[in-house]
Structure 1
Amino acid sequence: MQFSFRMPVAVQILLCLAKFDGVFKLTSNFLASSVNVNPVIIRKTLGQLKAAGLVEVAAGVGGAKLLRTPGEITLREVFQAVEEDEDLFHIQDNPNPQCPVGRNIQQVLGKRLALVKDNMLADFAQMTLADLLADIDSAEQEHNK
């Protein structure tokens, strides 16, 4: 099973906005070159991040910027901003009601999956863009050795 790529794309956009603010004009084309996706995907994601109050997007002249510091933006906020369906897994809609497993799978597995999601979101709430920027700086130092 593959999860959505929306959150990783959104995180990468936000990290670029933090890292390159004042260095480059942060347009959808610039951001698309970092993420290596079509600028349309960047614009859609920026729209979601703007609606969540995480970024400001300059109309016409182009460019985007963070509305808060990287230390104030958690991965939980990013996830909630861009994931339209926050369910991580989809349980079969029509299991066999005559089967003891089928008739109970949604309730039984659903509770466990909800716990996994709650734990993931709690972990995401503890991680900020500043943490990831520090990791990028460390990775770049290792790369440049």
Structure 2
Amino acid sequence: MRYSHKLSDAVHILAYIEIYHEGDLSSTAIAQSIESNPGLVRRLMAALRSAGLLATQQGTATPTLTRAPAAISLLDIYRAVEPDATLLHVDDKTNPQCIVGGNIQDTLRVAYDQVQRAAEDQLAAITLASLIADIWHRQHEKERGDA
């Protein structure tokens, strides 16, 4: 199974833009932080822009958040970069002649919908501001440890 890093990278981009708002905000600089490539950063920024979370100007490296970090939830970011994503997927190829195979899809869809709703409720409760605060906290802890 291949995992998507889109959400993680999108949060990284938004946190980077907020923390380094007076620095180099080029896709190249952000890509170096993510250890990825500028093309990926530009694609994710385009999705964040389409979702109304990010404002950019063509030809300049001056992206800005469109809302305060406290007003951007992890769910907002998730929906921006994974618009059709669901966490769990049902195998639709089972034997309909079997008691289990003939009923498992509907049974699991109900359960998986509950899991999806619970996950989205949790994502909605986490703000970009809280994630940025945690980044700063961890950085200060590292700096104290080095002293």
Bin the TM-score by the shorter chain: over 0.9
The match for 1:118 is 117
Structure 1 position 8 matched with structure 2 position 8: yes
Deviation at 1:136, TM superposition (A): 0.7
Alignment of 1:32-111 (within 5 A): 32-111=31-110
* Cα RMSD (Å): 1.2
TM-score by length of 1: 0.94
Which of the two has greater helix per residue?
2
Gaps of 5+ in 1: none
Deviation at 1:92, TM superposition (A): 1.1
Gaps of 5+ in 2: none
The match for 2:17 is 17
Deviation at 1:87, TM superposition (A): 1.3
Q: 2: CA distance between counterparts of 1:74 and 1:21?
A: 19
Contact kept, 8 Å, 1:76 with 1:124, in 2: the verdict is: yes
Deviation at 1:29, TM superposition (A): 0.6
Deviation at 1:54, TM superposition (A): 0.3
Deviation at 1:135, TM superposition (A): 0.6
Which string of whole-angstrom CA distances, capped at 9 and with x for unpartnered residues, describes residues 33-78 of structure 1? 1111111111100000000000011201233111111111000100
**Bigger CA drift: 126-135 or 80-89?**
80-89
**Bigger CA drift: 44-53 or 101-110?**
101-110
Deviation at 1:2, TM superposition (A): 4.7
Q: 2: CA distance between counterparts of 1:81 and 1:92?
A: 26
Count residues in correspondence.
144
The match for 2:140 is 141
Identity of aligned residues (%): 35
Where in structure 1 do 4 or more consecutive aligned residues deviate above 3 Å?
none
Aligned residue identity for 1:120 = A
Q: 2: CA distance between counterparts of 1:61 and 1:80?
A: 26
TM-score by length of 2: 0.92
Q: 2: CA distance between counterparts of 1:85 and 1:92?
A: 17
